[in-house]
Amino acid sequence: MKEILIRPERCMGCRSCEIACAVEHSQTKSLFGAVAEKPVPRKRVYVEFAPEYSISVPMVCRHCEDAPCVSVCATGALSQDGIIRVVTHDMEACIGCWTCASVCNYGMIGRNKEQRIAIKCDWCPDLELPACVSACHTGALVYKEVEEFSGSKRAEAALKLARGVTAGESR
């Protein structure tokens, strides 16, 4: 299963992912149309700034394997697909009790102000690549299988270690 994974060291804080997310979840699915829509299209990805480190981090729903938001949802508005694991939210069933927001460790439950219900990432069902990922120019967001993502991180780390070994030999 592919995930939206984060490489925070690459985030420039441009918020392009946020705009692309709101546009993808608009009626017209176009930027110029979306800005004029009512209800206002809402984003589901959040660029958070950590001032201590002067670093921006794009935060996006983890679609947790054992999703607390789904376990606590009283109306069944939040549900998880058994195979692809995507956690989706049924607007009709949501009563806006915010229990999900209380248990999400990442603050990924947003609020649709007009309808007063929860709103969250749906991995863009109409797109091959989620809108936030294709909007990211620096590759801070990637859409990959964990195995592949961790594999390449592992390879990178291994390379660093290997360099250390050779440097040691030559000394």
Window 76 to 95, contacts with ligand SF4 (CB under 6 A): 87
> Using the rule CB under 8 A, is 19 a contact of another protein?
yes
> Using the rule CB under 8 A, is 20 a contact of another protein?
yes
Give the C-alpha separation, 133 to 135, whole Å.
5
What backbone torsions phi and psi does residue 154 show, to the nearest 5 degrees?
A: -60, -45
> Using the rule CB under 8 A, is 53 a contact of another protein?
no
Q: What's the per-residue H, E or C state across 61-83?
A: CCCCCCCHHHHHCCCCCEEECCC
The mark string for 31-60 relative to ligand SF4 (x by CB under 6 A, - otherwise) is: ------------------------------
Name which of 93 and 129 has its Cβ closer to another protein. Answer: 129
Among 120, 130, 132, 142, binds ligand SF4 (CB under 6 A): 120
Distances (CA, A) of 51 to 10, 54, 57, 94, 170: 16, 5, 11, 35, 42
Q: Which residues contact 160 (CB under 8 A, 6 or more apart)?
A: none
> Using the rule CB under 8 A, is 134 a contact of another protein?
yes
> Using the rule CB under 6 A, is 69 a contact of ligand SF4?
yes
The two structure tokens encoding residue 13: 């804080």
**Contact stretch for another protein (CB under 8 A) within 13-21, 53-61, 83-91, 139-147:** 13-21
> Using the rule CB under 8 A, is 23 a contact of another protein?
yes
